[in-house]
Amino acid sequence: MPKPQKPVVYGQNHELDFRRDFSWRIFRIMAEFVEGFQFIADYKKTASFFGSARFRQSNHHYREARALAKLLARDGFTIVTGGGPGIMEAANRGAVDVGGVSVGLNIELPREQRTNPYVRHAKAFHYFFTRKVMLDFAAEAYVFFPGGFGTLDEFFELVTLVQTRKIAPVPIILVGKDFWGTLTSWIHDHVYRQHHAIEKNDLKIFRLVDSVDEAYKVLKAMRTPIEVI
């Protein structure tokens, strides 16, 4: 006679814990998308800033990001960042300097990521990809300062979304020819001219500038709201 099986107690056996099951994760992901879109829907005329989390306030690019955020916040732009340190802090700080709206879309990590002290409206995400979608669809303009892999990843994702018409064309500004110039030259000379992997018009998706004043003029002139296609 087979031995009677012990009753299953969910929560004691991780393999049977519904909270670790894929179906539970789907509901959690759906909830993050719903809450995220509801959160960002309240902010209009937004500009998202990207860049290295490693830059301190003495860094030239930190100062430039803060200055540009000030100018845009004075013009009524909501400043959106990933909520962390470095360039993100600089942009949120610039908005706060002039009494503007400062928003941070942060990520929950096992070792808690520090939310910079200049975020005034925050939303935290468990999954990187849901947060990334919110950042990609959160703004009417995107400003990229020098940064690492995460910054480059966000840049290429946004360019791809515009290229494939998943979102309508929006200003994508690269600030700092000392950093971005080599990359944009490589895209032009190798990706486009030598290998024909993109079209000529694709080179117009983004704009390289070398100063806060130049970036400000481009962004102030734009009037096209973001649109999901």
**Cα–Cα dist 229/226, whole Å:** 10
User: Which domains, and CATH codes, for the chain?
Assistant: 44-221 (3.40.50.450)
CB atoms within 10 A of CB 40: 19
Q: What pLDDT was estimated at residue 228?
A: 39
Q: Which of 178, 26, 152, 43 is nearest to 100 (CA)?
A: 43
Q: Is the pLDDT of residue 177 over 60?
A: yes
User: pTM of the predicted model, to two decimals?
Assistant: 0.85
CB 187 within 8 A of CB 200: no
CA pair distance 203, 192, nearest whole angstrom: 8
* pLDDT at residue number 12: 46
Helices (H), the chain: 22-40, 60-74, 87-97, 128-136, 149-163, 177-186, 212-221
What are the tens digits of pLDDT across the range 54-83? 999 999 999 999 999 999 999 999 999 999
Q: Is the dihedral of CA 14, 16, 17, 18 positive or negative?
A: positive
Q: Read off the pLDDT of residues 77-126 as tens digits, 9 standing for 90 and up.
A: 999 999 999 999 999 999 999 999 999 998 876 555 678 999 999 998 98
The amino acid at residue 89 is: E
